[in-house]
Amino acid sequence: MKTLIMVLGMVLLSGCSDQNLEKTDLQNGKELFGLYCASCHKETGNGQFLLGIPRNNDTHMSINEVASLIRVGHKDLDNMPTFPQLSSPQAYAISSYLKHKLGAQ
């Protein structure tokens, strides 16, 4: 019985640590999106049609392309500001959150 409990405990613990890792990244992405993107694109990524801000939660751009858009911009999207103050991991956290969480809605 003791062994069973220990094995169960280990399975639970390892399951948790994986989840926490993923959560931290997505959590960072969520917070950064709230700080840097939501003022225009809204928390949902639905944009604000009347202000000429497109939704970005259904973008066809890849995670890499969005991360690059955030930090250096994109020639076809020059109405959007860039955020050179963000680090590359921060830009990736935001674009993963956008694609994996907001895009799933």
Question: Judged by CB under 6 A, does residue 30 bind ligand HEC?
Answer: no
Q: Per-residue contact track with ligand HEC, 66 to 105, x per CB under 6 A?
A: x--xx------xxxxx-x----------x---x-------
Chain position carrying tokens 């590359």? 88
First to last CA, the chain: 44
Q: What's the helix, strand, coil split of the chain in %, to 5?
A: 65, 0, 30
By CB under 6 A, is residue 54 in contact with ligand HEC? yes
Which residue lies nearer to ligand HEC by CB, 30 or 36? Answer: 36
DSSP one-letter code for 86 = S
Please identify which residue in 42, 53, 68, 73 interacts with ligand HEC, judged by CB under 6 A: 53
User: Residue 73 corresponds to which amino acid?
Assistant: G
In angstroms, what is the minimal distance from the CB of 51 to ligand HEC?
A: 8
Quote the CA–CA distance of 6 and 12 in Å, as a whole number: 10
By beta-carbon proximity to ligand HEC, the closer residue of 30 and 56 is 56
**Residue 37 binds to ligand HEC (criterion: CB under 6 A):** yes
